[in-house]
Amino acid sequence: MRKSLKVGAALSGVLFVFLAGCGQQPPAAAAPKGPSPASQAWNKLTAGFIESYLQAQPFFAAQSGRHEFDGQLPDVSNHGIRREIARLHDQRDQLNAVDPKTLEPRERFDREYLLAVTDRDLFWAEKAKFPFSNPAWYTDKLDPDMYLNRNYAPLDVRLKAFIKYARGIPKMVNDIKANLQSPLPKTYVELGIAQYGGFEEFYKKSVVPVFASVTDQDLQKQLSDATTAAAAAMDALKATLEAERSKATDKFALGPDLYAQMVAQTERVDLPVDQIEAAGRADLERNTAALKTECDTFAPKASLAQCIAKVAAHKPKEGAVAGAREQLVMLKEFVIANKVVSVPGTDDALVAEAPPYNRSNAAFIQVPGPYDKGVASVYNIAPPDPKWSKAEQAAYIPSEATLLFTSVHEVWPGHFLQFLHSNANPSKLEGLWVGYAFAEGWAHYCEEMMYEKGLGKGDPEKHIGQIMDALLRDVRLLSSIGMHTHDMTVAQSEKMFREQAFQDPGNARQQAARGTYDPGYLNYTLGKLMIRKLRTDWVAKHSGAGTAAVAGSAAPADDQSLWHDFHDQFLSYGGPPIPLLRKEMLGEEGALL
């Protein structure tokens, strides 16, 4: 196709010269065609959708880089939640009223993208009713990290925004207390106590030092008053949840029907849950077999537990934060040298210890939104809980090999690079909303893909680190399905994380509890498997090779040469549901797994 275009251009040039030599003028070029009335109407609708969403979710807007919304918190009162549900239904009706046949191909894709956004939000608020049971539903709407650590404006400007934010906390806390309906599940109660207690500690101890260099004494007084009130409100919320402990239950499961709706409505995955479970179990067995193979080399005659303990004992010499900083330099060089995927711009991620209110997972990254420019991302690594035993605290610190593939997942070429692409997307629609299975599936996919590209090749210890991450995500999928559809208990889930994912006790407890309030964490493995299947089919279509490598085996060199183009195209769509993207990239949906 490209060759024919070049030939056509060359012939046009020859024709122009010939006509000019004959004293004739070439025909006037046709005026560029403007957008059709349907496209104009669509552009107006999408612009309205974005503005309506940002107005309704001002905290999300500020995090996305629209700083005119700084300091504003969403209305999470019962009335506010009902109003937001009604708004989402209205937006959905407007999208459904658009005849897709009148739209251009990318507009049809974006219509489905926005329908998926509304369906996802409606599921959690309206069907799962998380605002009335799940403290985790509020956490992302409370995180003030952008005001403290995101250098989008001078410190005094961010201080004013933080003061406005902090002044809104007491009302939001009162709304949360009014919304949460007793009795709550035990794991939800403990999560709320840990997170809201973390906010209380954070407001008391961590905020003032960040803004200490601001010399305006009036602002400092306002900050002191606002953080004192916010801390007191969080203390009261924590006390409310502590009083719930005696009434807490084990009733957290969505149940088979609602769980199937979750997968379909939040990710557009219209598959029987037992088929997803079978795929996850097969991946667990594949990774367990790979672990046994590597342990036979790395620790001959040792049990799997002893082999993993040997890997776990090799900790980063200067600690996880310093170790991750060194790894990121090497990983970026690897991505560029091996042409894994394009790197937009020159940005790098910072590395820091996770704040006290956000340590329920071992590592995560804070990335600025598509409206922010020149703002640093921060890769956070959580220290062990000081309440744990010394042995459990020591075990929680990641090994050097595990940390390497965590850094792959969070930064190069995982979340950080993926958000560099989505933030650079010319469509704000596609840059604003990145789905769970897309983001976590991509980051988890990158771990194994980077090993296949040569990272750690020939080093069984490093490969074991990658496999350990894969086993963890496999057990998340099985645990999520088990606890929400098969009456699996939290204790049984914890045991599975210890015995089948070989997790230390602290991580196993965290992971089992997380599955109760974050049933969507099956999306790490589910997303990875869908991406690998999409890559296999895309490469086969573009190489003419018929069938590319099956999941888990390195593709031939000629297939790997196409991975760069596959990755670039995959990341060029923002972060839609993967089944929607599959149809866009292949022209048909086909088998997802």
Q: What's the rounded Cα separation, in Å, for the pair 442 and 277?
A: 19
Residues 114-170 pLDDT 10s = 999 999 999 999 999 999 999 999 988 998 989 998 889 999 999 999 999 999 999
Residue 359 pLDDT level (bands cut at 50, 70, 90): confident
Sign of the C-alpha dihedral, residues 304, 501, 437, 270? positive
Q: What's the rounded Cα separation, in Å, for the pair 169 and 59?
A: 12
Residue 28 pLDDT level (bands cut at 50, 70, 90): low
Q: What's the rounded Cα separation, in Å, for the pair 200 and 373?
A: 31
Sign of the C-alpha dihedral, residues 218, 219, 222, 228? negative
Residues 374-421 pLDDT 10s = 899 999 999 998 888 999 898 889 999 999 999 999 999 999 999 999
- Farthest CA pair distance, the chain: 96
Name the token pair of 516.
């109760």
What pLDDT sits at residue 546? Answer: 46
Contact assessment for residue 557 and residue 547, using Cβ atoms and an 8 Å cutoff:
no
What pLDDT sits at residue 21? Answer: 37
Residue 5 pLDDT level (bands cut at 50, 70, 90): very low
Give the DSSP letter of residue 412.
S
What pLDDT sits at residue 556? Answer: 47
What pLDDT sits at residue 9? Answer: 32
Residue 171 pLDDT greater than 80, yes or no: yes
Residues 6+ apart with CB under 8 A from 290: 463, 467, 552
Residues 489-526 pLDDT 10s = 999 999 999 999 999 898 899 999 999 999 999 999 99
What pLDDT sits at residue 335? Answer: 98
Comparison of pLDDT for 268 and 10, the residue scoring more: 268
Give the DSSP letter of residue 547.
S
Residues 548-575 pLDDT 10s = 444 444 444 457 889 999 999 999 999 9
Residue 18 pLDDT level (bands cut at 50, 70, 90): very low
Alpha-carbon torsion, ordered 43, 49, 50, 51, to 10 deg: 110
What pLDDT sits at residue 29? Answer: 54
What pLDDT sits at residue 107? Answer: 97
Return mean pLDDT, the chain.
91
pLDDT > 70: what percent of the chain? Answer: 92
E-strand stretches of 375-444: 377-381
Residues 331-343 pLDDT 10s = 999 999 999 999 9
Q: Which one, of 459, 477, 543, lies nearest residue 514 by Cα? A: 477
Q: Which one, of 431, 409, 367, lies nearest residue 572 by Cα? A: 431
What pLDDT sits at residue 254? Answer: 98
Residues 223-246 pLDDT 10s = 999 999 999 999 999 999 999 999
